[in-house]
Structure 1
Amino acid sequence: MTDTRYSLDDIRKNVSRIDNALLELLAERRTLSLEVAKSKISTAKPVRDQTREQELLLKLIETGKQHQLDPQYVTQIFHTIIEDSVLFQQAYLQKLANPDSANPSARVAFLGSKGSYSHLASRNYFSRKQTDLVEISCSTFRDIFNIVETGNADYGVLPIENTSSGSINEVYDLLQHTSLSIVGEITQPIEHCLLTAVETSIEKIDTLYSHPQPHQQCSEYLHSMGNIKQEYCSSTADAMEQVAALKQPNVAAIGNASSGELYGLTAIQSNIANQQENFTRFIVVARKAVDVTSLIPAKTTLIMSTAQKAGSLVECLLVLRNLNINMSKLESRPVIGNPWEEMFYVDVEVNLKSATMQQALEELTRLTRFIKVLGCYPSENVAPTDVDIIE
């Protein structure tokens, strides 16, 4: 007979006690990270110090080994903690730089109903800003632009590119003519599942509902299912609503498992995207541009039209290279109404207010037929600090 010191209930109570203690310590650490941000204002030091982060991680890995904790495990946990600390400090510094926009609540327009990926991105983005949301569901991207432009919403959240299906062309085309500014970004993991309203099997599914983007992002899996009818909806949330209403064993929706639970759906197959690392980058637009403090990493997005002659685009890109400005995105789209003319969208990793970016704009203005800054905003992509893990 096995002798145990603790009952299962006792063990679970101890686990809960430790979990609560961890949460208290994480909250205390967050408070200290805010004090770090305040100190960096007076010293004008940037939020990120990757040399310091690397030293910290190496010490934590060594300490973890003394407690029989795997280095990969320790690194993964503290990458998440460091990311939260950086974003928390950035949000605080941005509130100081933009006191007029530091409202406790905001009206936010997004594509689809509750549970859509745009809805999840909206909640994740504004939770970092500690802002309460008045959520406004829209059925099209154009509706999002219109409702923000007319002042009926403070912000719009729009998908701009996906790691699997590429750029969202309709959003790029709408950006050509809007008066709105890009004021933020967030990268949202996209976890596609097959969701059904009744108990069934994959073999019985002959019709799939979703937004066109998930159909494209899961094309390889859908091909493996054979002759499947693909029904296009205005959003993944709309697809889940329809499948929930149909309650048939032969229909399924493509969407997020947690979102599916809102509609009473169950995931019968997970990880169906072409790429397992599937992410969508969303932009946040508003009527008023924001100032980005020099203490945090920034991106600037601009559009330009070059002369219709050989080498015109290359000349523009050489301006960025010569000024050591990193370009993270280059996208071309046809100019509506002007056949064979292209508009180029460029993301660069530099603050609009910097002397370097101002010089670049001056030179690009001379080289282009049209140029417009769509926005400068904090970069939300906190790349993990690399450390050499020696087992």
Structure 2
Amino acid sequence: MHPNPDTLGAARTLIDETDREIIRLLARRFDAVRSVAQAKATDGDRPILDNDRERGVLAAWLRDAEALGLSAPFTRRVLKEILSHSRRLQEPLVEGSPASARRITVGYQGVPGSHSSLAAAHLLATRSVRGADLRGYALFQDVVEALQAGTLDYAFLPIENSIGGAIADVNRLLIDNTLHIVDEEVWEVDQVLAGLPGAALDQVRTVRSHPAALVQCEGYLRGLEEVVRQPWFDTAGAAESLLEDRDPAIAAICSEEAARARGLDVLATGIADQERNETRFLLIAREPEGPDPRVPAKTSLVFRLNHHEGTLARALGILSAAGANLTRIESRPLPATPWEYLFFVDVEGNQASPHLARALKELRSACNHLRVLGSYPHRARGAEPAMEQVPAVLEPPAPLSCAVEPEPAPPRPGRVRVNVGPIQVGEGAFVLMAGPCAVESRDQILEGARMVRAAGAAILRGGAFKPRTSPYAFQGLGLEGVALLKEAGRETGMPTVTEILTQEDIPDVAPHVDMLQVGARNMHNFALLKELGRLDKPILLKRGMSATLKEFLLAAEYILAGGNQRVILCERGIRTFETATRATLDLSAVPVLKRMTHLPVIVDPSHAAGERELVVPLALAAAAAGADGLIVEAHPWPETALCDKAQALTREDMAALAAGLRPILASQGRAW
């Protein structure tokens, strides 16, 4: 039976009028929401999220919906979207963020009509009053490079999918670049199968789409006969490609918007393996943007742990004890150290809030490396979290890890070991680092490595870049020296350490050695320390010649605050009025530092002594004082050394040092 044309037309007219009325009412509601936001901005104690108010609104909606015969799940879903949009409208108005007063440029991977572009538009509609320009790029890497170059204000990238899991390439970009998460969007992905106009489902032999979309629809694709899966750079790009190939046997998995915009037929809908298919996207910036304390927040972390029992449980226990609810945890293998992992963790809460700030401070002491990727608004799916009670005016954060106090501090629990390759430096063990002051030639560093290895050294030292008082003194072989040091370390099975002088040298040197040393002259080179803080590599920090212990620890704090917890402190002598030695070795620094910080403490007696005959006695005294290790200079042919020949130990001196250390360490119950 066909409907009466007049009746059908009247019904459609009524639908159109009703739709326009719905739009007008929504606009009216959101105008009222803006007025609420302005009132909250005036009254700084009011949170954006009022749980009691939202529960009351939901109850009223469901009551009215039931009276009118509407579905409760449908009503709840519509209201959830309205409330979510309402909160987003309020955030920039309450915060008074400068970002809301300008037009911004945001990059995403894909082309218009892709899920990335649709999700970005949805998020940014409430983030900037003047709007946003969206730019598509072929690869995730391209988006990040444009952000780093200043072409973009923000990057918008997917981080995980509820079916396919984490997006590994984006995780890698977050690790490798200094980026900050400032917002997120959880986008409901409705995948469809699209084909050319007139194409039939039984004709399809090839389905192309982004690899993540193919994974999300694997169950559906298995149900199609003889279908080949073809990875494509983007879902909307796959849809666009159908118009170029003009082959009815090729279909694309994409959004319905992408298919309709290109005039394609939708051959099947709801093809994802799970009914609820959601992708979480991150808005990423070059600088952090902490959310207003009244906004429910989430904080993303990445950390690395020592590879022994209980370390992960301890780290998670710190967060649990602080009441920080985890919303995500996953691991990623470290290619350079097989079977060790980086952990990505998201927790509810703002890093600036007192309870989470305290937890992060404690967590740093349990990790080798920790970076806070950002705190940003958290818009939970389903039930909203309770609003965290955060003061409107926050205290300045305390130092993160060194526990520097102007007055003597109580002993610190939880001392850590720092892994340098396979060698652990820290509490309970003793490590000898030795080698020439400078790498001079291949024969010299190879013979020197064999010599110190035979004497019990576990880590090979050697300078490739040498800061010298005189500009005419030997300055080292540079990158050639780094390569020779690496070769010697491999031949003798020892991890290596060398000094880094400038930020510019880090990319060329860091990948080829196991630990980087910051010399005494660079202890206050804060720009260098900050860059080293971004690395996931051990740092040996030497005390400045005139630095107090507090200044020494604050220098270490620059590295720790950047996320790198793998710091070893080195006492190497300070400048005093005494001239009998090159410097005055401050052995009291060893127990004092161990009381003030959880970090390993070693001693360099070579630079303090300046004379070969004094190095071994000072080294033994350092071990007796409880140092976690020594770093000494040794040379196979010291009479020909180009650098610090007077203090370089010979083969016989190294044997004497080893013989003297054994009874001291045995009496302390320490292994060597």
- Aligned twin of 1:50: 51
Decide whether the 8 Å contact of 2:290 with 2:376 is kept in 1: yes
In structure 2, how many angstroms separate the alpha carbons of the residues matched to 1:374 and 1:82?
28
In structure 1, how many angstroms separate the alpha carbons of the residues matched to 2:262 and 2:23?
31
CA-CA distance at 1:164 after TM superposition: 0.8
What does residue range 240-251 of structure 1 map to in structure 2 within 5 Å? 240-251=239-250
Deviations for 1:77-126, whole angstroms, at most 9, x for unmatched residues?
333322221222124234x1x32x23432111111111111111111111
Other structure's SS at 1:102 match: helix
Farther off after superposition, 316-325 or 236-245: 236-245
Other structure's SS at 1:164 match: coil
Runs of 5+ in structure 1 lacking a partner?
387-391
CA-CA distance at 1:296 after TM superposition: 1.1
CA-CA distance at 1:15 after TM superposition: 4.1
- Aligned twin of 1:334: 333
1:106 is aligned to 2:104? yes
Distance 1:321 1:231, change over 3 A: same
Distance 1:222 1:54, change over 3 A: same
Farther off after superposition, 223-232 or 70-79: 70-79
In structure 1, how many angstroms separate the alpha carbons of the residues matched to 2:194 and 2:183?
31
Other structure's SS at 1:144 match: helix
CA-CA distance at 1:226 after TM superposition: 2.8
- Aligned twin of 1:38: 38
In structure 2, how many angstroms separate the alpha carbons of the residues matched to 1:115 and 1:19?
24
Farther off after superposition, 162-171 or 254-263: 254-263
In structure 2, how many angstroms separate the alpha carbons of the residues matched to 1:221 and 1:66?
39
Distance 1:68 1:330, change over 3 A: closer
CA-CA distance at 1:364 after TM superposition: 0.6
Other structure's SS at 2:125 match: helix
Distance 1:165 1:11, change over 3 A: closer
Decide whether the 8 Å contact of 1:188 with 1:280 is kept in 2: yes
1:315 is aligned to 2:331? no
AA at the equivalent of 2:250: V
1:119 to 117, 120, 124: 117
Decide whether the 8 Å contact of 2:197 with 2:263 is kept in 1: no
In structure 1, how many angstroms separate the alpha carbons of the residues matched to 2:340 and 2:167?
19
AA at the equivalent of 1:31: D
Normalising by the residue count of structure 1, what TM-score does the alignment of the two structures yield? Answer: 0.90
- Aligned twin of 2:555: none
Other structure's SS at 2:87 match: helix
What does residue range 18-97 of structure 1 map to in structure 2 within 5 Å? 18-41=18-41, 42-94=43-95, 96=96
Distance 1:350 1:271, change over 3 A: same
- Aligned twin of 2:635: none
Decide whether the 8 Å contact of 2:84 with 2:379 is kept in 1: no
CA-CA distance at 1:13 after TM superposition: 4.3
The structure in which a higher percent of residues are strand is 1
Decide whether the 8 Å contact of 2:300 with 2:344 is kept in 1: yes
In structure 2, how many angstroms separate the alpha carbons of the residues matched to 1:91 and 1:52?
20
- Aligned twin of 1:381: 380
Other structure's SS at 2:46 match: coil
In structure 2, how many angstroms separate the alpha carbons of the residues matched to 1:383 and 1:86?
15
Distance 1:165 1:39, change over 3 A: same
CA-CA distance at 1:285 after TM superposition: 0.5
Percent identity of paired positions between Structure 1 and Structure 2: 28
In structure 1, how many angstroms separate the alpha carbons of the residues matched to 2:62 and 2:335?
55
CA-CA distance at 1:149 after TM superposition: 0.9
In structure 2, how many angstroms separate the alpha carbons of the residues matched to 1:226 and 1:271?
18
Farther off after superposition, 129-138 or 290-299: 129-138
Other structure's SS at 1:325 match: coil
Farther off after superposition, 230-239 or 84-93: 84-93
Q: Which has the higher contact order (CA 8 A, sep 6+)?
A: 1
Decide whether the 8 Å contact of 2:199 with 2:265 is kept in 1: no
Decide whether the 8 Å contact of 1:86 with 1:382 is kept in 2: no
Decide whether the 8 Å contact of 2:350 with 2:375 is kept in 1: yes
Distance 1:71 1:229, change over 3 A: closer
In structure 2, how many angstroms separate the alpha carbons of the residues matched to 1:70 and 1:167?
34
Farther off after superposition, 211-220 or 226-235: 226-235
CA-CA distance at 1:266 after TM superposition: 1.3
Provide the aligned C-alpha RMSD in A: 2.2
Distance 1:367 1:146, change over 3 A: same
AA at the equivalent of 2:193: L
Distance 1:115 1:7, change over 3 A: closer
- Aligned twin of 1:324: 323
Runs of 5+ in structure 2 lacking a partner?
386-672
Farther off after superposition, 45-54 or 8-17: 8-17
In structure 1, how many angstroms separate the alpha carbons of the residues matched to 2:205 and 2:8?
46
Farther off after superposition, 156-165 or 16-25: 16-25
Normalising by the residue count of structure 2, what TM-score does the alignment of the two structures yield? Answer: 0.54
Distance 1:69 1:120, change over 3 A: closer
Give the count of matched residue pairs. Answer: 379
In structure 1, how many angstroms separate the alpha carbons of the residues matched to 2:249 and 2:106?
35
Distance 1:327 1:250, change over 3 A: same
In structure 2, how many angstroms separate the alpha carbons of the residues matched to 1:277 and 1:145?
29
